[in-house]
């Protein structure tokens, strides 16, 4: 749960830095260099979230509990597959900012940062 809070804070810091860059009116040329540390923080916290989900799945798979394996399989093939897939991969969305064509556009980083904040907030408030 602390990883979700940290990820939400890192995403909001990325959004805030992007808004600040837009407010200064400096253009898109050097935005990638300015936003790169924030993108790195989001990437590290997204990796921590991914590792926590992965350790949960490994525990379920190797515990020998047939019901746990069925529930895990149902998460990605059931009617709410889009929710669990989004919860897994949306936190990684701002990592696309390492591509200079995306990272130098603060508006795209604001959108990706806000999209990545949603699953972190849902996970943090649901437990």
Percentages (nearest 5) of helix, strand, coil residues in the chain: 85, 0, 15
pLDDT at residue 14 is higher than 80: yes
Model confidence over 108-124: pLDDT tens digits? 999 999 999 988 888 77
pTM of the predicted model as reported, rounded to 2 decimal places = 0.84
Give me the domain span that covers residue 34: 2-126
Tokens describing residue 10: 């890192």
Return mean pLDDT, the chain. 88
pLDDT at residue 15 is higher than 90: yes
Report the number of distinct structural domains present in the chain.
1
Instruction: Report the pLDDT value the prediction gives residue 78, as an integer from 0 to 100.
Output: 84
Distant-in-sequence, close-in-space partners of 25: CB < 8 Å, separation ≥ 6 = none
Q: How many CA atoms lie within 13 A of 69 on its CB side?
A: 6
């Amino acid at each position: 749960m602390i990883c979700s809070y940290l990820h939400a804070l890192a995403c909001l810091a990325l959004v805030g830095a992007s808004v600040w860059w837009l407010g200064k009116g400096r253009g898109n040329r050097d935005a990638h260099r300015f936003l790169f540390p924030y993108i790195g923080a989001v990437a590290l916290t997204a990796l921590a979230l991914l590792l926590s989900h992965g350790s949960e799945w490994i525990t379920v798979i190797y515990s020998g509990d047939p019901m746990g394996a069925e529930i895990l399989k149902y998460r990605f093939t059931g009617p709410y597959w889009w929710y669990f897939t989004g919860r897994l991969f949306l936190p990684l969305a701002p990592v696309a900012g390492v591509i200079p064509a995306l990272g130098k556009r603060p508006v795209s980083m604001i959108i990706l940062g806000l999209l990545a904040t949603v699953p972190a907030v849902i996970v943090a408030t649901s437990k």
